[in-house]
Amino acid sequence: MSDCQLTCPANPSEQFLRSERIPHIWCPGCGIGTTVNCFTRALVEAKIDLTKTVVVSGIGCTGRVAGYVDLDSFHTTHGRAIPFATGLKMANPKLDVVVYSGDGDLFAIGGNHLIHAARRNINLKVICVNNMIYAMTGGQTAPTTPNDVTTSTAPYGTYDPAFNLPYLVEAAGACYVARWTTYHVRQLALSMKEMFKKKGFSFIEVLSPCPTLYQRRNKMGDGLDAMKFYKEHSKIKHGAPTNEVGLTKAGEIILGKFVDRERPDYQQMMNAHFHEELGDRYIEMEEPVCS
């Protein structure tokens, strides 16, 4: 046993990782691993029942999170993380269901599912790692890519408008909406912890660097340069109107908790409806459909 093993405290994140699958596939400087560190710390601080916690992801760089965390997890098909998660939550309402995926998976092929899950206020916790590009498949333009960014499918720069993710999910009906970067690790972990206590559709956008494709192609440096960029360009404005927090290539980054409101979730609305329609004949589902 080395001196380091004798003197260094254990990393609290290790208990949540499938060590047999390490090393991971993420590029040097990628921020996804940092978000996982924040997530595991939030799990500890929130003191939730890990035997009733499930992670669901789609396809893409962030989708690998479901394979690395040592929790019940599902690595689903491209864009379909939210339908899988909705089925889990409705079949077993006692589960804490976390959707952990990327901007392309959630807002491109999966955008329709996300909008309707927010509209229905399904009690899901959605963590979206936004690197503003399709990182796993070659660096193509994504729905979140800002203007004037060079990508593999826009070698002369993008010109179509990008999604403003907090604005979109608030308009669709989300109860909790926040945005942080991988530089703001304490705030991100705290926001994740807060999200676990929230009932209804909750959404956290995490801005994360992609040094291999986004930054290299746009001459923005490596992962460390991205951290400096986040530090210098970020401004925390809790409660900022979400229609004013859109992102640009080199402009100000507005961070914070933008939305924290209460409204009945899908299961509450369903139970209230059928109680009214069926009276005592309707029995609310409290246990899983199957075990």
Q: Is 109 a domain residue?
A: yes
Q: What is the pLDDT of residues 198-250, one digit of tens each?
A: 999 999 999 999 999 999 999 999 999 999 999 999 999 999 999 999 999 99
Residue 160 domain-assigned (yes or no): yes
**Residue 14 within a domain:** no
Q: Does some domain include residue 19?
A: no
Q: How many domains does the chain have?
A: 1
Per residue in 53-73, pLDDT (tens digit) is 999 999 999 999 999 999 999
Q: What is the pTM of this model?
A: 0.93
The enclosing domain of 186 has a CATH number of 3.40.50.970
Q: What domain range is 262 assigned to?
A: 29-281
Q: What distances in angstroms separate CA 173 from CA 24, 114, 166, 167, 240, one per listed residue?
A: 35, 11, 11, 10, 17
9 lies in some domain: no
**Residue 221 covered by a domain:** yes
Q: Are 110 and 80 in contact (CB under 8 A)?
A: yes
Of residues 201, 84, 264, the one with CA closest to residue 73: 84
